[in-house]
Amino acid sequence: MSFVELLTRLGGMGRFQVTYVAALAFPLLMLASHNLLQNFTAGIPEHHCRPRPVANNSIGDVPLFVTIPSDDHHRPQRCRRYVEPQWHLLETNGTANGTATGAATEPCHDGWTYRDGVFAHTIISEWDLVCESKKLRQVAQSIYMAGILLGSGFFGVLSDKFGRRALLTWCYLQLGAAGAGTAAAPTFVIYCLCRFLGGLAMAGVSLNSASLCMEWIPTEARAVVGTINGYCYTLGQFVLAGIAFGLPHWRWLQLVVSLPFFFFFLYSWLFVESARWQVISGRPDLALKGLRKVARVNGRKEEGDKVSEEALRALVRREPPMPGGALAALVRTPGMRTVSCGVSFVWFSTSFAYYGLAMDLQGFGVDIYLSQLVFAAVDIPAKLASVLTISGAGRRVAQGASLGLAGVCILANIIVPTELQTLRMALAVVGKGSLAASFNCAYIFTGELFPTAIRQTGMGLGGTMARVGSMVAPLVRMAADVSPVLPLVIYGAAPIVSAIATCFLPETRNVPLPETVKDVERRGGHLKDEDVTVPLGPTGTKDGA
């Protein structure tokens, strides 16, 4: 009897699983708020240099065009001002949009004036992250993503050692505390530090939620449950747009999206630890208690009482200790190298292109709240198409097709004239929807590719590569200073390359979860059924050879 068959005997997708999925999915609503928060908390308000004080002024209020030059769109320049007022622009032949050709200008030595508008109170206006300091806006987002990057590897390894539930509970608390600290940050440096800590916890929440769902859900329900979790993230994007519209001040917005995690921390103590992990970790007694609790909740108490520790030990086959630990196991054998490399490509390119599009809502020239709603809405049909493809054609087809379509849409925007904003927006929306579908598939596909013994470490690898992509994505925006189309070329090429890499991964549709590295090697054709060990030693020799 396999673990999947045991779960079926204890109720399958019963009351316990439904409640568990709902409890894990609810916090995912707020994860989107933290990932995309800087679209609103770091929105760039209209601004211009604070005019130089005018001595002996006898005309009262000095018109702005006398002290600030105009740009090509007849708006005050953001980062320059006249060294001396250009009074001649007030003459009859002068206009409010006139510019004194050849007049000396200088940087904004006295600061900036910010206009009231959509973004009246953001970190940009509070700490003057404009002109020479404008790159700090992208740096702040990259620091947050760096936190998620480190958290993916750090919490992935710790979860395989100490358990999924314990780490998830801690990450809820850390994310709530770090978010509240961010809202109260007195300086930009403290702001970045708190965002970094929030990113660490964010990775732990995402990874452990996915693993707990994967390890408690029957095989036939995994695609549906993964899609439900994806839709919760989508709904969170709508929630973010609504909260941001109602709370335009960045500190209040940051606080409101962080406080719910203290509530999640409290109820997470009721979660049941993964029985698969407990058995793999040599704790069948704890696994037995958890499984009997599941049986009671599902109305299968008698079936639960029949389960014994000896039966659990037989369910999950133990393999010899892996030299170098879980991280080394990701690349030690041929099958694991194929899986690890493919997963790395998929997660990096999906996240890289996704955040390249999603974190530049102001760049589309459309109302940012409308853009957020449209970008969120496209996830609904995209993820529905994803789950249908995942269930029908398989994981590999769904993953490759979504990445390929995203790359084509992004590259197509290179040849579309900037005047056709609607068409450019439509292509970006389709591309973003395809990447959302790719994320949906990646969570399911990755969990099915790695064995239980190192599943969380494998998920951590995927999460780590995703955060490398999301960390690099804002910095690639700076390449527009070299060529306006260069960021799109980079964002579009990455998913297409990864779509090709997906072809080398094994299909996992309707296949039981692998429990050990040996199962992965056997599935990849690198190990025959009669072999009893996996070449885990440094020289590739088998135990006992």
Tokens of 520: 């992965």
What CATH number did the domain enclosing 265 receive?
1.20.1250.20
Q: Is 155 found in the same domain as 30? A: yes
Residue 283 included in any domain: yes
Dihedral class, residue 163 (left if φ above 0, else alpha if ψ from -120 to 50, else beta): left
| 312 and 455 fall within a common domain | no
Question: 452 and 367 in one domain?
Answer: yes
Choose the final residue of a domain: 317, 344, 373: 317
Residue 1 counted as domain residue:
yes
Residue 339 lies in a domain: yes
Number of domains the chain is built from: 3
Same domain, 352 and 431: yes
516 and 439, same domain (yes or no): yes
Evaluate whether 409 touches 430 at the Cβ level (below 8 Å): yes
Tell whether 259 and 279 lie within a shared domain.
Answer: yes
331 lies in the same domain as 295: no
pLDDT in tens, 172-195: 999 999 999 999 999 999 999 999
Residue pair 369/422 in contact (Cβ under 8 Å)? The answer is no
- Contact between residue 137 and residue 161 where contact means Cβ atoms under 8 Å apart: no
Report if residue 21 sits inside a domain. Answer: yes
Residue 521 lies in a domain: yes
Under a CB-based contact definition with an 8 Å cutoff, are residues 222 and 16 in contact?
Answer: no
Co-location of 313 and 331 in the same domain: no
Query: What's the per-residue H, E or C state across 353-380?
Result: HHHHHHCCHHHHCCCHHHHHHHHHHCHH
Ranges 11-15, 140-144, 509-513, most confident:
140-144
pLDDT value for 543: 38
For 457-485, how does the pLDDT look when each residue is reduced to its tens digit (9 = 90+)?
A: 787 788 778 878 877 887 787 777 777 78
Q: How far apart are CA 455 and CA 329, in angstroms?
A: 11
Domain co-membership, 444 together with 503: yes
pLDDT reading at 541 higher than 50: no
Q: At what angle do helices 334-358 and 455-476 cross, to 10 degrees?
A: 40
Residue 205 lies in a domain: yes
Q: Please report whether residue 120 resides in a domain.
A: no
Tell me the two tokens of residue 264.
Answer: 């999640």
The per-residue pLDDT for range 61-78, each reduced to its tens digit, is 677 777 788 776 677 887
Residue that terminates a domain, selected from 294, 317, 340 = 317
User: Do 406 and 311 have their domain in common?
Assistant: no
What average pLDDT is seen over the chain? 79
Domain end call among 114, 140, 165: 114
Tell me 512's DSSP state. P
Does residue 121 sit within a domain?
A: no
pTM over 0.75: no
Clarify whether residues 516 and 371 are in a common domain.
yes
Contact call for residues 397 and 319 (beta carbons, < 8 A):
no
**DSSP class per residue in 241-264:** HHHHHH--SHHHHHHHTTTHHHHH
Q: Are residues 308 and 392 in the same domain?
A: no
* Residues of the domain holding 91: 47-114
